[in-house]
Amino acid sequence: MTINGVLNLNKPVGETSMDMVRMVKRLTREKKVGHGGTLDPIASGVLPICFGQATRLMDPLVDGTKLYRTKVRLGETTDTYDSDGTIVATADATGVTREAIDAALEAFRGQILQVPPMYSALKHGGERLYDLARAGFEVEREARSVKVSRLEILEWNSPDVVLDIECGRGVYVRSIGHDLGQTLGCGAHIIELERRKAGPFIVENGVTPEAFAAAVEADTWRDFIHTPDTVVQHLPSATVTGAMESFVKNGRPVTLGPREAIADAEHEDLWRVYSHDGQFLALARFDKRLGQWKPEKVFDPEPAARVKDPALS
């Protein structure tokens, strides 16, 4: 039977995101499995694992808000911007103060331009940057606009500073650590990284690989699977009945909600659509020209296996 839903996996340090996907596929024997946002091997924390139809909702997970906690070591610069790399420069950081760090962090708050690290999965001329870096090449990378909603000092114990970072898609925490060191004039790299939140999922409610393996052995692992629409609970919702259900299932535009909902809707707003008995049918996008919502992603309302949606907090 096919499972449709999301597992909040707590990835350990030392494993890749794809290692975790392969482990879950091997244990569950589910065929359609993917992850909702890569974590580096040095990183631990929330790694959403999507099953079945939920793999169609990986974009909202990747696009959603993330919360990271990282420990940055001042005075040492590495080629990978983290402790997995080789130290390429050292400098005296004993004169750096908490006030100086906080002042330097101001440049990394809000909508900022960030240059991705060479050791990243981005492509240049059809090749991964990390492959070029390992071959000894460094190429110019274009700065990208990314959003850092919150960036705060949690602890300061020289030469290490612990930061909490709330951000959107595309932010490289390693680059924040590296660039902070460059701004302070002493260099820096990250030595610890934890993703504490991704979309609706938080690390406190994550399942370790060991606990998940034990649940598979006991045939209770489905209790850890959140329903697909958990990913998009932040969106408005509407219920359709009768012929409207059929329209949605067939991808035809429908009217959702009262007249006020149409008047207030912005072009391309997304809504969740449910059947009269509460089954998740689709994500529909508002078309201002039609004054209706067009089903964009339609989901099977009768999955082969129903899954439980444990509380997220």
167: CATH: 3.30.2350.10
Is there a single domain that holds both residue 164 and residue 238? no
Respond yes or no: is residue 40 known to be catalytic. yes
Return the ∠ at Cα 40 (arms to 39 and 41), rounded to 5°.
Answer: 115
Is there a single domain that holds both residue 163 and residue 50? no
Residue 268 lies in a domain: yes
Residue 310 lies in a domain: no
Residue 91 lies in a domain: yes
Written as one letter, the residue type at 116 is P
Residue 303 lies in a domain: no
Number of domains in the chain: 3
pLDDT value at position 260?
54
pLDDT value at position 301?
64
What residue has token string 């701004």? 183
Residue 305 lies in a domain: no
Is there a single domain that holds both residue 79 and residue 180? yes
Q: Can you list the alpha helix ranges (DSSP code H) found in 89-190?
A: 98-105, 129-134, 173-184
Is there a single domain that holds both residue 142 and residue 176? yes
3-state helix, strand, coil in the chain (%, to 5): 30, 35, 35
Residue 309 lies in a domain: no
pLDDT value at position 304?
40
Is there a single domain that holds both residue 194 and residue 84? yes
Is there a single domain that holds both residue 141 and residue 207? no
Number of C-beta neighbours around residue 249 at 10 A: 18
Is there a single domain that holds both residue 84 and residue 160? yes
Is there a single domain that holds both residue 224 and residue 236? no
Q: What region, left, alpha or beta, does residue 281 occupy, with left being phi > 0 and alpha being psi -120 to 50 degrees?
A: alpha
Structural domain of 239:
231-298
Instruction: Please report the DSSP string for 254-302 in residue order.
Output: B--S-HHHHHHPPTT-EEEEE-TTS-EEEEEEEETTTTEEEEEEE--SS
Q: pTM (2 decimals)?
A: 0.89
pLDDT value at position 308?
47
CB contact burial 187-226 (16+ within 10 A = b; e otherwise):
bbbbbbbbbbbbbbbbbebbbebeebbebbeeeebbebbb
Is there a single domain that holds both residue 121 and residue 179? yes
C-beta separation of 105 from 74 below 8 A: no
DSSP letter at 12 equals P
Is there a single domain that holds both residue 176 and residue 75? yes
Is there a single domain that holds both residue 148 and residue 294? no
pLDDT value at position 65?
93
pLDDT value at position 187?
98
Residue 311 lies in a domain: no
Pairing of strands 270-274, 237-239: parallel
CATH of the domain at 294: 2.30.130.10
Instruction: Return d(Cα 238, Cα 250) in angstroms, integer.
Output: 17
pLDDT value at position 219?
95
Query: For each successive 10 residues of the chain (313 residues), what is the average pLDDT?
Result: 91 95 96 92 96 92 94 97 95 97 97 85 73 74 91 98 96 96 98 97 97 97 95 91 91 79 68 92 89 90 48 45
**Rg for the chain, CA atoms, rounded:** 22
List 40, 79, 82, 179, catalytic entry: 40
Is there a single domain that holds both residue 188 and residue 292? no
The maximal CA–CA distance of the chain, rounded, in angstroms, is 71
